[in-house]
Amino acid sequence: MYAIIKTGGKQYTVAVGDKVKVETLPGEVGSQIKLETVLAVKTDAGLTLGNPTVPGAFVTATVLSEGRHDKVRIFKFRRRKHSMKSGGHRQNYTELKIDEISA
């Protein structure tokens, strides 16, 4: 059994027991959160697609940790002009452990 959820503008395929890093969500470490934007659910009976979401479906997850991804280096260079620009970015994340998929 798995589900396709949408959070933070991205879509994730999750199953019970999976650990996934998503965009920062409100919630304390160790608390449970409920993700209600479920786009599809695959069970033994078959695949249920939402239009755009599956009504009554939700995914329960536990917040394991919060952190920051590795730095992404950004370097812009204009040839023959000796113009260089450097920067970087580190995105925050929330790590979730999927506990239950309810459809």
At 28, is the pLDDT very low, low, confident or very high (cuts 50, 70, 90)?
very high
Distance between CA atoms of residues 37 and 45, nearest Å: 21
Does the model's pTM come out above 0.95?
no
What residue ranges do the domains of the chain occupy?
2-102
Rounded distance between C-alpha atoms, residue 54 and residue 32, angstroms: 21
Tell me the per-residue pLDDT of 50-97, one tens digit each, with 9 for 90 and over: 999 999 999 999 999 999 999 999 999 999 999 999 999 999 999 999
Phi, psi of 60 (to 5 degrees): -100, 130
CA distances in angstroms from 29 to 23, 64, 77, listed in the order given: 15, 6, 42
Asked if the model's pLDDT at residue 103 lies above 90, the reply is no
What is the percentage of the chain residues whose pLDDT exceeds 70?
100
